[in-house]
Amino acid sequence: MARRVRTLVTAAVLTVTALVVLASPAHAQQPIDATEDGGQAFLAFAIMVFVFAGALFYMDRVRRRRTGGD
């Protein structure tokens, strides 16, 4: 029982540490101003759309594989 509690506490501490470390650089990002950097804003938007669409297709493929559907 004590070993299980120790494992859960260790996992919780590692998870919280990982979240803090990964979330801290998020505040340093700068938004893209489309009035001045129109080309850069379009490129960032296009990349975001392709990544989002790819993630949706990937998740649908995983769902179909797990359920056995066509």
Record the tokens describing residue 40, joined without a space. Answer: 């850069």
Cα-flanking dihedrals φ and ψ of residue 15, to 5°? -65, -45
Separation of alpha carbons 49 and 62, rounded Å: 20
For 13-24, what is each residue's pLDDT tens digit?
A: 999 998 887 776
For 23-66, what is each residue's pLDDT tens digit?
A: 766 555 677 777 776 788 888 889 999 999 999 888 887 777 77
Helices (H), 1-70: 2-23, 38-67
